Each structure stands twice: as structure tokens, then as C-alpha cells.
């Protein structure tokens, strides 16, 4: 690029359109001129104000056969398309378009926006660039006007004169990466996934394996590229399918494949039209019923009949007293339900219908502070103790069986 210093000694520059071309609607001319100036004001600390009377810094005009004596004559159709003077008083900054050309707002003739953007580069102090990809290259080439025609060379050039604009968007913020051991960590959704538990957060997920003391952290898109970020609810049913919810849509996943025909509408499941999103979902493996949590209410869905049960929604506090609201996420692990609300997690015994523990939401990860109270670790401890005595296992299994039968009978009765 090339430029002439000092450019304009001010940052507020006026322009005036002296006349219009008959080739285009006046409003299209005005739009092309305005957009051409905006192109530069986006990358340099410049503002352009249109005036309709008096002497503006940049006087814009369509002319024929002008500049005759100077070595820059407008030469009829084709050839020279436009000309602009560098910054300065009088004719300085003035911009002329050859009226003998066919001016258009598309590519059928010479695109006024592109030529104006080039000429205004001169009006601001840039000279021609010998980079063929630059807007300031002297020869006309049509570029899709929906894309910015400014090259890095053009931007460097204008910023060499005026500095960079505070309006230039800073480098896009790097998306925040959630930290597993952040005490303020909350979850979007949690579900079992075969022999794992998956915790969703923004664009990411953590997965923990039942038998392995490892926490994996991944992008959701690494597993399911077509799933959206910021999902809101998820659960795994008894048919090896995982359902993922966001707003009024849900996707069905089998292993790493999203089943064809999804997303579908949550209204297909039987939700009323005023329900716009699901906060959390929990599948009870014993009763084969799925609970859907929406604000302070829940629905119950029969996975065997594939239908929403009648008599719902009901108040969450009625069946799950004491759990925090709203429910961000929920899932079943062994005989307990785990509800997540903000940074808290409620371990709930569905048989006795009471909260057995209140934990940090991230207690499933091996964070040192929560290590001892982690149900994940209680699982490990349980696993380690298994080798001690067969009798212990039998007794535990028997108790678990009694619990399950009792719970099943209670649920059927209810």
C-alpha cells in the first residue's frame, strides 16, 4: 500500500452528493456511497456525516469528460471509471465517477459501491496498492459486495494514517472453558450413557466411567457434530437410546449416531404448547418411567407405552420434597436420584422420599476438596470392599433387592 501523510487532520469528515447517475435509483446511490464510507470507518477512527448544502470535505459527483487538461481525463465508456483527490482543502478529497460508465448496484455494470470504496480510499490519503487482492489495486475487479472488499493491505494502509479504530471488534473472546473443580460449577444436563455418566456444560461434556477413576473432558461436537451447544436436558432410556433436549426440540442418540428424523418436537411426546423447554429429565430404571422437570412442575412419561401419563404436571415439591429449584439436571445412579440445582446436588432416596445428602454439583469429579464426600468415590470404595467378603456382597444385594421390591410396590400403588 501507499499513502500520503498527514491525511485529514480531523476524524469527523463530511461528504455531500452533488448529483446522481440516471443508471441507478437515488436511494441506491446514497446507500452505495454510505456503505463505501462505512467500510473505512469500521477499521479506522473516522466518522462520516452527510451534508446537503455547502462545502463538504468530500464532494461526490458524476461527471463526463472532465479533467481534460490534467492527465486524468474521463475518457467515455470503459477506460477510466473514477478519480479522487487526496485530502486537502478545496478539491482535496473530492470524488468523481465517470458518468459515461454503466453504474449498477450489482455486477451487471460497474458496481458503484466497490468503485466508491476504492475512490474514498484516495480521498482519505491512500494511493494505489500493487497487491492485486487489495481494494486499492488500480484496476476494477468485481468482488461479492456482501463480503468486505478490504484486504489486510488496505487496512494496514488506512491505519498507518489514522491509527486503528476502537470500533474494530477486538479478537473474538475465547469461549470460556469450564473447570471440573470450579466450586461454582453448574451443569446443563446429566445422564447415564451405557456404562458412563455424562455431564453437559455449554459446548463441553465430562464423562466418567463406572469402573475407571478417570474424568474425560471433550467437546460435545467431538461425539455428535450435529448436536447443539447448551443443551438443557438428557436421559438414557431402557432401549439403549439417549434423548437430548434443547428448547422445543429433542434428538435421539444410539451410541455415537444421532437417529435419522431428529430433531423432533417435544410436543410429539405430549407436552402442551406453552412448554418451551425442559429443565431436566430422569429415567427411573425400575419403574421405566421418565420424569421431565419444567420450572416447579414435573411430567411422567411411560417408556413402555411411549406416552405421557395423565394427571400431570404435578408440583415437584410434592414428590421430591426439599430438592432445590429449578432442577438443572437429574439422573439415577443405583438406587438414588441425583438432582442438580445451581452448585448444589441433592441425593434423593425415592423409596423413603427424602434427601440423604447435599453435595457440591461437581462431587462426581475427583476434586481434592470434595473427594471424601463424592458418591463417585463411594462407588470406588464400595468396589474395593467387594473383595473382602462374599457375605457382605450377598447381604448388600439382599438389602438392595428388598429396597427395589418395596420401591416398585410403592410406585405401582401410587
Partner 1 sequence: FPADPKTEHEESRHLAQAYLDQFYTLETEGSHLIQNKSNVPLDGKLREMQAFFGLTVTGRLDSNTLEIMKQPRCGTPDVGQ
Q: Is 103 in the site for partner 1 (CB under 8 A)?
A: no
Q: Does 128 bind partner 1 (CB under 8 A)?
A: yes
- 3-class state of residue 354 by DSSP: strand
Q: What is the DSSP string of 221-278?
A: HHH-TTS-SS--EEEE-TTS-EEEEETTEEEEEETTEEPTT-SEEGGGGT--TT----
Name the residue among 273, 311, 271 with its Cα closest to residue 292.
271
The answer to the question of residue 122 lying near partner 1 (CB under 8 A) is: yes
Distance CA 278, CA 272 (A): 12
- Report, in Å, the least distance between residue 65 CB and partner 1: 12
Q: In this structure, how many other beta carbons lie within 10 angstroms of the beta carbon of residue 378?
A: 15
Nearer residue to partner 1 within complex by CB, 118 or 204: 118
- Contact pick of 36, 81, 124, 215 for partner 1 (by CB under 8 A): 81
Give the per-residue contact string, 2-31, with partner 1 (x = CB under 8 A; - = no): x-x---------------------------
Stretch that binds partner 1, among 79-87, 148-156, 161-169, 276-284 (CB under 8 A): 79-87
Catalytic residue status for 25:
no
In degrees rounded to 5, what are phi and psi of residue 329?
Answer: -160, 160
For residues 75 and 40, the answer to whether their CB atoms sit within 8 Å is no
Q: Under the criterion CB under 8 A, does residue 108 sit at the interface with partner 1?
A: no
- Candidates 131-139, 165-173, 287-295, 372-380: pick the segment binding partner 1 (CB under 8 A): 131-139
Q: How far is the CB of 26 from partner 1 (least distance, A)?
A: 24
Among 72, 276, 315, 396, binds partner 1 (CB under 8 A): 72
- In residues, how long is the chain? 414
Q: Which of 171, 172, 163 is nearest to 41 (CA)?
A: 163
Q: Which residue numbers are catalytic?
A: 119
Binding site for partner 1 (CB under 8 A): 2, 4, 67, 71-74, 78-84, 96, 98, 101, 110, 115, 118-119, 122, 127-128, 130, 132, 138-140
Amino acid at each position: 500500500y501507499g499513502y500520503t501523510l498527514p491525511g485529514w487532520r480531523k476524524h469527523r469528515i463530511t461528504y455531500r452528493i452533488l448529483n446522481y447517475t440516471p443508471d441507478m435509483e437515488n436511494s441506491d446511490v446514497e446507500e452505495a456511497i454510505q456503505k463505501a464510507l462505512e467500510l473505512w470507518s469500521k477499521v479506522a477512527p473516522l466518522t462520516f456525516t452527510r451534508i446537503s448544502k455547502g462545502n463538504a470535505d468530500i464532494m461526490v459527483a458524476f461527471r463526463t469528460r472532465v479533467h481534460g487538461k490534467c492527465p486524468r481525463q474521463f475518457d467515455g465508456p470503459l477506460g477510466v471509471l473514477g478519480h479522487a483527490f487526496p485530502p486537502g482543502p478545496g478539491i482535496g478529497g473530492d470524488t468523481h465517477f465517470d458518468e459515461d460508465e454503466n453504474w449498477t448496484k450489482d455486477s451487471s455494470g460497474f458496481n458503484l459501491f466497490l468503485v466508491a470504496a476504492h475512490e474514498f480510499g484516495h480521498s482519505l490519503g491512500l494511493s494505489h496498492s500493487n497487491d492485486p487482492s487489495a481494494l486499492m489495486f488500480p484496476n476494477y475487479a468485481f468482488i461479492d459486495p456482501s463480503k468486505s472488499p478490504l484486504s489486510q493491505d488496505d487496512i494496514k494502509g488506512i491505519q498507518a494514517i489514522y491509527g486503528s479504530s476502537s470500533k474494530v471488534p477486538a479478537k473474538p473472546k475465547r469461549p470460556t472453558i469450564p473447570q471440573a473443580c470450579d466450586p461454582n460449577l453448574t451443569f446443563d444436563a446429566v445422564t447415564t450413557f451405557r456404562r458412563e455418566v455424562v455431564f453437559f456444560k455449554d459446548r463441553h461434556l465430562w464423562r466418567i466411567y463406572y469402573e475407571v477413576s478417570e474424568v474425560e473432558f471433550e467437546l460435545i461436537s467431538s461425539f455428535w457434530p450435529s448436536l447443539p451447544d447448551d443443551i438443557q436436558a438428557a436421559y438414557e432410556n431402557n432401549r439403549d437410546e439417549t434423548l437430548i433436549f434443547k428448547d422445543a426440540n429433542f434428538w435421539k442418540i444410539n451410541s455415537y449416531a444421532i437417529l435419522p428424523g431428529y430433531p423432533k418436537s417435544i410436543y410429539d411426546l405430549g407436552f402442551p404448547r406453552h412448554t418451551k423447554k425442559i429443565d431436566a429429565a430422569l429415567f427411573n430404571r425400575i419403574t421405566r418411567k421418565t420424569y421431565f422437570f419444567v420450572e416447579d412442575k414435573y411430567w411422567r412419561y411411560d417408556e413402555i407405552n411411549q406416552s405421557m401419563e395423565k394427571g400431570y404436571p404435578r408440583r415437584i415439591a410434592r414428590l421430591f420434597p426439599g430438592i432445590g429449584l429449578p432442577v438443572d439436571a437429574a439422573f439415577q445412579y443405583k438406587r438414588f436420584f441425583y438432582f442438580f440445582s445451581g452448585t448444589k446436588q441433592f441425593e434423593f432416596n425415592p423409596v423413603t422420599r427424602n434427601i440423604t445428602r447435599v453435595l457440591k454439583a461437581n462431587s462426581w469429579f475427583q476434586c481434592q476438596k470434595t473427594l471424601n464426600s463424592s458418591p463417585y468415590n463411594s462407588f470406588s470404595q464400595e468396589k474395593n470392599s467387594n473383595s473382602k467378603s462374599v457375605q457382605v456382597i450377598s447381604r448388600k444385594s439382599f438389602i438392595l433387592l428388598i429396597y427395589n421390591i418395596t420401591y416398585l410396590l410403592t410406585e405401582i400403588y401410587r
